[in-house]
């Protein structure tokens, strides 16, 4: 199967505009990530830091790179998120928020090349890679991610705070 970034963006936009966007985007992601090597081959030019490939009020499409030895702090998106990995291994820690505010680890999902995952609009996750390699993926969000008021969470206290660069830097943790 061949893969092109422009084709992916076009398909993601049309899936997000479907009458049942969650199901349509989920199907698209599993079809596209059935051949992660094809994405990796085409990816040469977009494996820099996170890059927004397209965004409008209905959909955001990102090329994402998670660095090794780093724990991305728990955060929400407030809109549906669809994650796919085409290189490296990405560990997703999915949290539930208890009534008192604290976070409880609910599930640990390891995504290897070809794996995809959907996070609902109330989902909270933290991410790290496995081994010393970055993980590379493509994400689709059902909305304009850059304008959503999202939150970051302090995993020790459960305290939530606005998703800003400063708060992110304060909460990001180095991993061995
Ligand atoms: Fe996320």
Closest listed residue to residue 126, CA positions, set 102, 98, 95: 95
CA of 3 to the centre of ligand 1 (A): 24
- In this structure, are residues 7 and 53 in contact, taking their beta carbons and an 8 Å threshold? no
- The class (CATH top level) of 5-174 is mainly beta
Per-residue pLDDT tens over the stretch 109-148: 999 999 999 999 999 999 999 988 999 999 999 999 999 9
The HSE-up count of residue 28 (CA atoms within 13 Å, CB side) is 26
Distance 14 CA to ligand 1 centre (A): 22
Residues 144 and 56 sit within 8 Å (Cβ to Cβ): yes
Domain extents for the chain?
Answer: 5-174
pLDDT category of residue 101 using cuts at 50, 70 and 90: confident
Give the residue ranges of DSSP H helices in 19-172.
21-32, 36-42, 165-171
């Amino acid at each position: 199967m061949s893969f092109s970034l422009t084709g992916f963006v076009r398909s993601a936009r049309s899936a997000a505009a479907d009458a049942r966007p969650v199901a349509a985007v989920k199907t698209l992601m599993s079809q596209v990530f059935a051949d992660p090597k094809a994405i990796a081959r085409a990816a040469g030019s977009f494996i820099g830091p996170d890059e927004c490939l397209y965004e409008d009020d209905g959909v955001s499409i990102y090329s994402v790179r998670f660095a090794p030895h780093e724990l991305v702090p728990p955060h929400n998106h407030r809109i549906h998120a669809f994650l796919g990995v085409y290189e490296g291994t990405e560990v997703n820690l999915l949290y539930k928020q208890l009534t008192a505010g604290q976070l409880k680890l609910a599930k640990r999902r390891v995504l290897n090349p070809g794996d995809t995952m959907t996070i609902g609009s109330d989902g909270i996750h933290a991410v790290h890679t496995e081994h010393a390699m970055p993980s590379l993926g493509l994400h689709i969000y059902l909305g304009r991610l850059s304008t959503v008021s999202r939150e970051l969470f302090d995993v020790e206290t459960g305290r939530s705070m606005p998703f800003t660069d400063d708060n992110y830097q304060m909460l990001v943790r180095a991993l061995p």
